[in-house]
Chain A
Amino acid sequence: MIEVGVIGVGLLGPGLASWADGRALLHDPAAWQRSPTAVPAPQRLPATERRRAGTLVKASIAVADEALAMAGLDPAPLATVFTSSTGDPLNCHLLCEALAAPERLVSPTRFTNSVHNAPAGYWHIAAASRAPSTSLAAFDASFGAGLLEAAVQCATTAAAVLLVACDLPYPEPLHAVRPVADLFALALVLAPAGQGRALALQLGPPAPAMACEAPGLETLRQTIPAARALPLLHALAGGGAAALGLEAAPGLALRLHLGAR
């Protein structure tokens, strides 16, 4: 059992403009209406990096900033975990297209942005943070794997950790082989147990309540890897204690117990 506390939340998704806006909608989904995710411009990025950053980076920074503001923390000393199933899908498509052409002309920025840890790199530049950072992937379980890693880091270092998850669609033709419905991003700031909303994590047999009750949100959960976080976000939006679960790796359940507010 790993015990931590949630002290900050950031959110961006279809019909969910922010955690401030989305928490009421998640608490009472009848008022939620699906609309395409809109990504705000990242004010934190220096001009050069803002010009070069793709949508994955911009969305990741937007949710990280919201979660940090809620936690009231300085980003510089904060270790980070970034998780994404796909990385930057448009960048990947354009790179593969360029490499399939006879000239194979690749732009340096396109190549630099192709690394899976691009959001982490841009974030640590923007936050002037030399703290450790990891970037990982576990296909549809990427959020669960990232949550496990962030909680393990928080518990072993006894310091707060910023977790950022983001997935967005590939363009065709990759969309046909890896359909992702829309952009979904969230950030959590985890702190050592005793601070914020208590969260206990345990690997174990198949967990209860992995689905969303509201059909529209359940569709999001099933069609965007990062939206696997929705049952946890729903529980965070309410005030009561909750037991729920998600996948920590494909086929491996992570049981979560969220304390009452």
Chain B
Amino acid sequence: MKPLAVTDYTVVSALGVGRAATLAALQAGRSGLAKQDFETAAVDTWLGVVADIDAVALSGDLAEFDCRNNRLAELGLRADDFAASVRAAAARWGPARVGVFLGTSTSGILATEIAYRERDPATGALPAWLHYGATQNTYAVARYVRQALALQGPAYVVSTACSSSAKVFAAAARMVELGIVDAAVVGGVDSLCMTTLYGFKSLELVSSDICRPWDARRVGLSLGEGAAFALLERDPKRVAAWLLGAGESSDAHHMSSPHPDGAGAAAAMRAGLSQAGLAPADVDYLNLHGTGTPGNDAAEDVAVRSVFGTTLACSSTKGHTGHTLGAAGGVEAAITILALQHRFIPAGLNVREIDPALQVNYLRQPREQALRVAASNSFGFGGSNACLLFGTAT
């Protein structure tokens, strides 16, 4: 594919609001995870909560959108003045020429979960305050962003579990290539809810310990929440990084477990390299999906080795942010671009002893290093895989 410019981007997670807070935490090797409860859930786990969500209120024309997920989206639009960059792009290209392609897994389901606790005892009806289409429905976050930024181009939400907000980069690149749009707002927003807390618990994938990707005694993931946005544009006036490739594949194996030989994941990495016209040795850093579940890390290690060998510097940043699910692709794309721009490789946190069965070059300390190309893996339930490759702006 022809490289596509990332002209601006931002990220919100448990590490903080915006690029500077995220960068400082990554360079210091500081985690945003804490052992805490969330809403009415007491699951005995570490969570990556975005505390600043509580200070956001959606009002006026946007009041019906008010829910945790859209508040988190709004926090992301305000961070680093991202909304101003989008408005400038809309002024340059026209609002109908700017697409909105966002990922989420659970959208605003928390609103409906709470509404189900407040059903009318006589009729079973949901409370009148629930605005289903603006909150719970899968499309809601794209509808919110499109309306908040007054955009009129094509828009949809990709919901492929934990690869959602990586795949939107691929979708936007195709739309720009065909001339359907000149610019696109991509990224993802996913917020904590009962569905994922109790759902991952039912699958015995949630750790009561902090998540420890690549550790010999890792027992599961820590959930987080996050929002990340990137503005992709043709004929850029400034460039944060170049999107070089966006590989996609399916596992064809199991709904909730990765294929142990990692063949589907490897196919996504190879497709990304092929689109970028790069050899494996051209990549300087890989941000792993690295959830910290025994199965994911083992399968991903096999997959990465089969494509890149064992010298490529790798780390998972889920020990910092927790697993932000449908936002993870976007959050980790932003972290990958931060690494390119600020010439460093983030460490994988919380490792006590590297699993001797895992063989990729897993970094346990942040490292200062100039990078030319960095990649980010995202894998989801249903066997949905994506690998994004970004190149430095200079």
Q: Which residues of A contact B (CB under 8 A)?
A: 2, 49, 52, 85-87, 92, 95-97, 99-100, 104-108, 110-118, 120-122, 124-125, 127-139, 141-142, 145-146, 148-149, 152-153, 155-156, 172-174, 176-178, 203, 248-252
Contacts and interface: CB of A to CB of B under 8 A. Distances in A.
B156 A149 contact: yes
Interface string B245-284: 0001111111110000001100100010000000000000
Contacts of B263: 130
Contact of A138 (B109, B117, B155): B155
Given A132-B250, A133-B384, 5 more contacts: A107-B202, A117-B380, A130-B263, A139-B139, A174-B132
The listed residue with most A CB atoms (<10 A of its CB), out of B96, B160, B249, is B160
Contacts of A137: 137-139, 156-157, 159
Interface string B53-96: 00000000000000000000000000000000000000000001
Contact of B160 (A97, A133, A142, A203): A133
Contacts of A173: 119, 124-126
A145 B254 CA distance: 27
B157 to A, nearest CB: 5
- Interface footprint category on B: 35 or more
The listed residue with most B CB atoms (<10 A of its CB), out of A2, A113, A124, is A124
Nearest to A153: B174
B180 interface: yes
A248 B154 contact: yes
Given A133-B384, A136-B156, A2 B250 contact: no
B216 interface: no
Contacts of A105: 202
A48 to B, nearest CB: 9
A132 B154 contact: no
Contacts, number: 204
Given A99-B113, A121-B381, A138 B125 contact: no
Contact of A130 (B113, B124, B133, B264): B264
Interface stretch (B19-27, B193-201, B305-313, B335-343): B193-201
Contact of A96 (B116, B201, B202, B383): B116
A106 B201 CA distance: 9
A132 B248 CA distance: 5
Given A111-B202, A121-B382, A177-B130, A156 B143 contact: no
Contacts of A174: 112, 126, 132
A128 B259 CA distance: 12
A139 B137 contact: yes
A173 B126 CA distance: 6
Contact of A152 (B130, B178, B201, B380): B178
A99 B116 contact: yes
Contacts of B116: 96-97, 99-100
B171 A115 contact: no
A86 B132 CA distance: 11
Given A118-B255, A145-B156, A111 B382 contact: no
Nearest to A249: B155
Contacts of B156: 136-138, 141-142, 145-146, 149, 249
Contacts of A124: 250-252, 382-383
B252 A100 contact: no
A173 B122 CA distance: 12
A108 to B, nearest CB: 5
B113 A96 contact: yes
B125 A176 contact: yes
Interface in B352-394: 380-384
Nearest to A79: B248
Contacts of A172: 124
17 contacts: A100-B119, A106-B202, A108-B202, A108-B256, A112-B256, A116-B105, A116-B160, A117-B160, A117-B382, A117-B384, A120-B382, A121-B382, A125-B252, A125-B255, A125-B383, A132-B271, A145-B155
Nearest to B382: A121
B141 to A, nearest CB: 10
Interface in B275-304: none
B88 to A, nearest CB: 22
Contacts of A128: 252
B271 to A, nearest CB: 8
The listed residue with most B CB atoms (<10 A of its CB), out of A116, A135, A138, A248, is A116
A206 to B, nearest CB: 13
Contacts of B157: 136-138
Contacts of A141: 156
A1 to B, nearest CB: 9
B124 to A, nearest CB: 5
Contacts of B155: 138, 145, 249-250, 252
